[in-house]
Structure 1
Amino acid sequence: MPQADTAKRFDALRRWAAKQHNLPIDACDLQLAAGDASFRRYFRLRLPDGTTRMLMDAPTPQEDGRPFAAIARRWQAAGLPVPNLHALDLDEGFIELDDLGDEPLQVRFHGDDAPDTLAWHDHALDLIHELQNRAGPHDLPPYDAALLGRELALFPEWCLREWLGIPEFPPGWDTLRESLIDSALAQPVVTVHRDFDAMNLMVQDERLYLIDFQDAVAGPISYDPISLLRGRYCRFPPERFEAWIEAFRRRAIADGRLSSATTTETFLHQAQAMAAQRALKVLGIFCRLTRRDGREGYLQRLPHFLGHLEESLAGLPEHQAFRDWLTTHFRPALEARLMADGVDPGARP
């Protein structure tokens, strides 16, 4: 958004907030709190009595605050931990909601094998069970073959062609693409947050709260566990990942979300396929954010998600041709391009 438009949006948001609280403009203390990969921005409003609120600025037509507001109401009614909505102007794209503080879950991580890191992942997995059991997927857009395919297409379009200059599809791509889509569609359909990563879980009073759920869909049962366990901040050894996936399978069978006929091997294979799909999507999105949108800080995360992709494909031996291409062609090309762009491919993001 151009700087002049940004200033205009801020002024309009400030005036709107002042009106909601019957305040003069100069008594409306509004500070930028965060931005994200979209056009949304978040501001902290400090009221004269010391109360704080979070204001979401979701500028139309680039963003639509209606899904967020509708889902927030439904999930709150279901007893899920989401911020309260205090005021809305959905035509303008302004939403006032609870201020959940400045502690996203990743600040509680102190190394991949630290006890507190592992414990908080257990807490977050518990919240996924709550989400899937309490909030039905009705009224959510379907995570269907078309959407899965569009997400997968981001990898060859933005990561290969636009960023690396590789015009041809990798060996085995068509087979891999269809297999990943089929695996996702074969799973039970549940409510999917769709970005259940630590950055979208806030810690307040030692409890986790859900945020940034406006893109929720009705989709595969394994997607949110994968978003968490193969997310931005941690890399876990295969045995720990598999133990979490097996515990998830057992609990989902116990409460009826999964058929008792779903074997350990079947669910692990589906989880690995879902993880591969998400890693390919993320690699494409991060390159698009860099190339098209001029965003910084995303290239540094590419090796991390390439590692996730390689770990996922290790559990999908039927796609050996694509896996070999990753090793012999893609990884060297990615590392060379990162170094050319001044990014250390071996550095932890």
Structure 2
Amino acid sequence: MMKKKLYIFIVIILSFLIFATYKIFVENKTIVEKDTILAMDTQISWVIYEKPSLYPLDLNAKIKTRIDELVKLLSVTDENSEIYKVNHHQERDIKLSEDTKNVVLFALQMAEKTNGALEPTIYPVLREWGFTTGKYQIPDETKIRDLLNYVDYRKVSLKENQIYLPDGMQIDLGAVAKGYIGDEIIKILKANNISSAVINLGGNVQLLGTKPNGDLWNIGLKSPNSQDYIGILRLADCAIVTSGNYERYFIGEDNKRYWHILDGKTGKPADKHINSVTIVTKQGKLGDALSTALFVMGVDEAINYWKQNKDENDAFEMILITDDKKIYITENLVDSFTLQDKYKDYHMVVITL
């Protein structure tokens, strides 16, 4: 019982720290409703701004029910979830629910599109590092090589709602699940005539519409090296998703930092000299996938990927902050971003076609 209480306490603290990735500046605005729920080791909160006459009283309950439904399907650690059953081969061929199928299919599509930079089968390696158990360690090279034999999204078979994994392979949807949940919350809000709201899912923020008075939202983007904010983004009606090497990490016995974003080709923390990747896009799940994949790619590949996908339906904008104090920002975000004065020593690089 004490261990369980300690685990819950640690999760809450970690969720608070992840929640601090952004600061949402809202002054003199009437909050009609807000709530918070702890799910998938993340503090999910929402703030709704709307005229009371239009606000359905059961909306918070609807949102919580939907989140609970999805967590019970997608959690990699819940023994009753569909993904857990898939990973532990409790049934040889699992027939997935529509939600789980959609998330798995999207993860595999993004894995293919990013050439494995997003790798949904990395879970055995991630667990070996201790990022899912809290028992952090630096695995030896032999162990990593052995586990990498079970890492390859191309070996996952998904036909309609049937999924099959080879023995030893396990799938983790953590790189897209929060974004999918955020998208589903947005759907509920829109279906209930809500036009102004903010959802915070740890490193993900999703904005519905503008502020009630029509102004853009002011989103503070966290500095990778401190607890304050490196700059402010002024945006509306979009998802802003950040992945960084400062979110979940441990210091090894060698006094080096090891973070949870792993390169599926090496089985080690991706280290392409990027501190954080922020994606701005319409879909939370796309921002979720790309913030991880582009972190793994590194600056040059990330820029090429942005250029190649600029005019597609899943177009996005991005900010890359590197360890040599450079901020790479796509041209369409330049007017929306203001660098804080104390970070004027950072060099801004505008990415253009």
| Larger RCO (CA within 8 A; separation ≥ 6) | 2
TM-score (normalised: structure 2): 0.30
Question: Which structure has the larger Rg over C-alpha atoms?
Answer: 1
Relative to its length, the structure with more helix (as a share) is 1
- The alignment's TM-score, normalised by the length of structure 1, stands at 0.30
